[in-house]
């Protein structure tokens, strides 16, 4: 009786998440319409004839956009880490969630256009910075290319490999921009705003989820050969230490940011790169790099890779 009830519940849940009202273009409009309405209401509330009012709208539109790019980043990891109806629904609708993000960014782009053209003096004296401009412009170029190639008319000009490279690179870049902004807010400007903590940790967790999913995919392909046991255990011990260090570093940026930034930009060539190369020297991402390398080592590192190659198992 209980088994039948559980089966009925699972079927009902599955059918609910397949309902047309919360899938595909219906989901897009369900999310984009109220967001647009709130954006218009906020624009009416702020004085767009003043640079401060437009700046508020830029921040407001960003806060709408960030959760959607985070959802996109996490989408592919969820079915691996948490198999189920909801995670499959999430991944199935990743494209439409991404298009909602594009709408939010279009609003931000409109407000940036307003402030740069109607309040030029304020923009170039108080807002403009070359690296910020390069990061933002690069993000919009990625976003435009991804939107165009999300439809058949644009996708036909790319091979499958090119399309995958564009969208993966674009998603990473569009995630990296807000994530790094909130990292700097916390660990350089020492912000105490709750929104900075929420968006930093959300950005960290969604990318950490991708790393964890990648590690989970690697795990079944290890061959526990007796001759490699010692190497595997050593690799796992080092990997676990790196994962722990990455987690600690992610929460303690105030303790190491200044020292690491100074060391990484001490060389003149590095200091020059910092002026224009997006995200250089990548301080916000160092804890995630530690997590990635640690996960690779924990799942066998070179030992697992070499065993996979000998057994013909696919690399992940």
- 237 pLDDT exceeds 60? yes
Q: What integer pLDDT is reported at residue 132 of this predicted model?
A: 86
User: For 211-215, 224-228, 255-259, which range has the lowest pLDDT when averaged over its residues?
Assistant: 224-228
Work out the average pLDDT over 50-75: 95
Tokens of 59: 């921040």
User: Which pTM was predicted?
Assistant: 0.91
User: For 38-42, 117-121, 236-240, which range has the lowest pLDDT when averaged over its residues?
Assistant: 117-121
- 226 pLDDT exceeds 70? no
What pLDDT digit, counting tens, does each position of 70-126 carry? 999 999 999 999 999 999 999 999 999 999 999 999 999 999 999 988 888 888 777
Summary mean pLDDT of the chain: 90
315 Rama sector, left if φ>0, alpha if ψ -120 to 50, beta otherwise:
beta
What pLDDT digit, counting tens, does each position of 120-159 carry? 888 877 777 878 888 999 999 999 999 999 999 999 999 9
| Residue 311 pLDDT class (50, 70, 90 cuts) | very low
Q: Which residue's entry shows tokens 């609910």?
A: 16
Measured CA to CA, the distance from residue 300 to residue 305 in angstroms comes to 7
- 223 pLDDT exceeds 80? no
Measured CA to CA, the distance from residue 297 to residue 219 in angstroms comes to 11
Measured CA to CA, the distance from residue 39 to residue 181 in angstroms comes to 22
Percentage of residues in the chain having pLDDT higher than 90: 75
Work out the average pLDDT over 211-230: 72
Measured CA to CA, the distance from residue 49 to residue 72 in angstroms comes to 35
Percentage of residues in the chain having pLDDT higher than 70: 90
Work out the average pLDDT over 25-44: 97
My answer on whether omega of the bond before 267 falls inside 30° of 0, hence cis, is no
CB 175 within 8 A of CB 69: yes
| Residue 48 pLDDT class (50, 70, 90 cuts) | confident
CB 316 within 8 A of CB 212: no
- 239 pLDDT exceeds 60? yes
| Residue 7 pLDDT class (50, 70, 90 cuts) | low
For the chain, how big is the Rg over CA atoms in Å? 23
192, with CB counted inside 10 A (0-12, 13-18, 19+), is: exposed
Measured CA to CA, the distance from residue 284 to residue 242 in angstroms comes to 16
Residues 6+ apart with CB under 8 A from 65: 101, 104, 105, 108, 178
């Amino acid at each position: 009786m209980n088994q039948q009830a559980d089966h009925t519940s699972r079927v009902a849940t599955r059918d609910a998440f397949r309902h047309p009202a919360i899938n595909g273009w219906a989901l897009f409009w369900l999310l984009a319409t109220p967001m647009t309405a709130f954006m218009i209401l906020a624009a009416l509330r702020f004085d767009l004839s003043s640079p401060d009012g437009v700046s508020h709208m830029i921040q407001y539109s960003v806060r709408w956009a960030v959760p959607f790019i985070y959802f996109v980043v996490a989408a592919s990891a969820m079915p691996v880490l948490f198999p189920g109806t909801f995670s499959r629904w999430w991944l199935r609708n990743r494209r439409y969630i991404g298009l909602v993000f594009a709408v939010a960014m279009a609003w931000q782009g409109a407000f940036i256009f307003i402030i740069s053209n109607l309040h030029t003096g304020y923009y170039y004296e108080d807002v403009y910075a070359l690296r910020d401009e390069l990061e933002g412009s690069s993000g919009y170029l990625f976003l435009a290319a991804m939107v165009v190639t999300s439809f058949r008319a644009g996708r036909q000009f790319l091979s499958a490999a090119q399309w995958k490279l564009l969208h993966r690179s674009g998603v990473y870049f569009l995630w990296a921009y807000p994530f790094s902004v909130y990292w700097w807010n916390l660990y350089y400007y020492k912000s105490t705003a709750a929104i900075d903590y929420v968006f930093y940790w959300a950005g960290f967790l969604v990318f950490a989820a991708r790393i964890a999913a990648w590690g989970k995919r690697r795990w079944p392909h290890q061959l526990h050969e007796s001759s490699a046991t010692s190497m595997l255990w050593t690799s796992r011990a080092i990997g676990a230490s790196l994962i722990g260090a990455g987690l600690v570093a992610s929460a303690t940026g105030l303790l190491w940011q200044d020292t690491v930034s100074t060391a990484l930009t001490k060389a003149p060539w590095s200091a020059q790169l910092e002026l224009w190369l997006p995200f250089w020297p990548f301080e916000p991402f160092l804890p995630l790099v530690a997590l990635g390398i640690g996960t690779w080592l924990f799942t066998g590192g070179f030992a697992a890779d070499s065993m996979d190659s000998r057994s013909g198992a696919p690399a992940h």
